[in-house]
Structure 1
Amino acid sequence: MLSQVVQYFQTNSGQYWQYVGQHLVLTVITLAASMAIALPLGYWGARVKPVASFCVAFAQVLRIIPSLALLFLLIPVMGTGTLPALIALIVLALPPLLINTILGFNEVSPLYKEVGTALGMDRRQLRRQIEIPLALPYLLNGIKLALVEIIASATLATYIGAGGLGTLIFTGLGLYDMTYVVIGAVSVAALSLGAMLGFDFLIRKVREHDNSSDSI
């Protein structure tokens, strides 16, 4: 198996990096679009309880939809290709972003806001200097969970012609060649693990900074 993997990279390294690039582009675009939707909506939900209730219920409904089922549901409406894959992945990424955004802003102590108001801060300054920094660990955790979900689910997007590392996995399954499956699966797992460890490190640093600021 190892020799077959080495031989694949010797003869198809360009193709492999093309798949990696497709996977990363799909992931980055999906994450950016998901954040653009979920972060403002989650912040609004943290301030308005009915909106929060709707967002949580909406997120719970989205969580029970299987990734592959969602992809296939979009085929009759939008056909195949990158666009339906992006829409499906955005829908799958919204739940962790919404829930963690609402949780993060709800966890900001009113005492900090009162102190900021007493110092003469307006609503924009309170949001920028108090609310967002204190909610940041939760926001980053939501982004981390969404990113891992996107990287894993983007593998299935190959089914509708979006490319990516899933091409290797499904090619291997079709050819009964485990070399392709192993290369694709390990690559996706490595990307997911790298994203998770990177965000865990970033969250830890943010919390250490917050703790040091509180002690001062």
Structure 2
Amino acid sequence: MISFFQANGAELILKIWQHIYLSFISLGLGIIVAVPIAIGLTRAKKIAGFVIGLASVLQTVPSMALLALMIPIFGIGSLPAIVALFIYSLLPILRNTYIGLNNVDPSVLDAAKGIGMSNMQSIIQVELKLAAPVIMAGIRLSATFVIAWATLASYIGAGGLGDFIFNGLNLYRSDLILAGSVPVILLALITDYILGKIEYVLTPKSIRV
């Protein structure tokens, strides 16, 4: 084990950083895009089913096929991987945000209007706060997916821990497979824990479990 880290420690740190970069840029873009769209869909429910259905269809595209489709458009490297992972991150966040906002008690919304809140104030100060647990559940699920799927980015030259995993498979070396797999699992667990703490902070005290 010590000899492995002496030989591969610097490369492992680099691959972990690449994996974090790919995953969190993709997840961040997913949040920035999906949450506002979901808010808009709660105000335009006639098209909500179509938009969420479209996101569901995109999620059913096999990971390798989607990555391959990115190559003619964006080439190889980090950019096509980020775009593909961003697409995969959308559905859980979009769906949960839409469901969470739709489940806010209408009497609370009426009360917000009654005290003179504008539509935007109601969204920011009331609806998003009350829907925070459901929204964060979608973000946590999406984060786990993205971190796991980021291993496939290795196939299009984006780096990450997938390099260790697939090199290990090609060379029949279990140490390389473990060096790639264990950090991915730890990253997913740590990220979920941190997002769980953020969820607790964002959730109003009155509805905390």
TM-score scaled by length of structure 1: 0.90
The match for 1:112 is 108
Q: Paired residue for 2:88, among 89, 92, 99?
A: 92
List alignment gaps of at least 5 residues for structure 1: none
- The alignment status of 1:33 with 2:7, answered yes or no, reads no
- The alignment status of 1:76 with 2:79, answered yes or no, reads no
Q: Paired residue for 2:191, among 186, 191, 195?
A: 195
Q: Does the Cα contact within 8 Å between 1:46 and 1:105 map onto a contact in 2?
A: yes
AA aligned to 2:22 is L
Deviations 1:125-179 (A, max 9, x none): 2112111100111111111111111100110000000001111101111211110
Q: Hey, what's the Cα distance between the residues in 1 that align with 2:3 and 2:54?
A: 47
AA aligned to 1:127 is I
- The alignment status of 1:23 with 2:19, answered yes or no, reads yes
Q: Hey, what's the Cα distance between the residues in 1 that align with 2:191 and 2:134?
A: 16
Q: Hey, what's the Cα distance between the residues in 2 that align with 1:120 and 1:199?
A: 33
List alignment gaps of at least 5 residues for structure 2: none
Q: Hey, what's the Cα distance between the residues in 1 that align with 2:128 and 2:196?
A: 18
The match for 1:53 is 49
Q: Does the Cα contact within 8 Å between 1:42 and 1:55 map onto a contact in 2?
A: no
The match for 2:3 is 7
Higher mean displacement: 148-157 or 115-124: 115-124
Shift of 1:201: 4.2
Shift of 1:58: 1.1
1:210–1:58 distance in 2 versus 1, CA, 3 Å: farther
Q: Paired residue for 1:102, among 98, 103, 114?
A: 98
Q: Does the Cα contact within 8 Å between 1:134 and 1:210 map onto a contact in 2?
A: no
TM-score scaled by length of structure 2: 0.93
Higher mean displacement: 24-33 or 72-81: 72-81
Once superposed, what is the RMSD of the aligned Cα atoms?
A: 1.6
Q: Does the Cα contact within 8 Å between 2:129 and 2:204 map onto a contact in 1?
A: no
1:39–1:9 distance in 2 versus 1, CA, 3 Å: same
AA aligned to 2:82 is L
**4+ residue runs of structure 1 moved beyond 6 angstroms?**
none
The match for 1:140 is 136
- Aligned to 1:50, the other structure's residue is in SS state coil
Q: Hey, what's the Cα distance between the residues in 2 that align with 1:33 and 1:97?
A: 11
Percent identity between the aligned chains?
A: 37
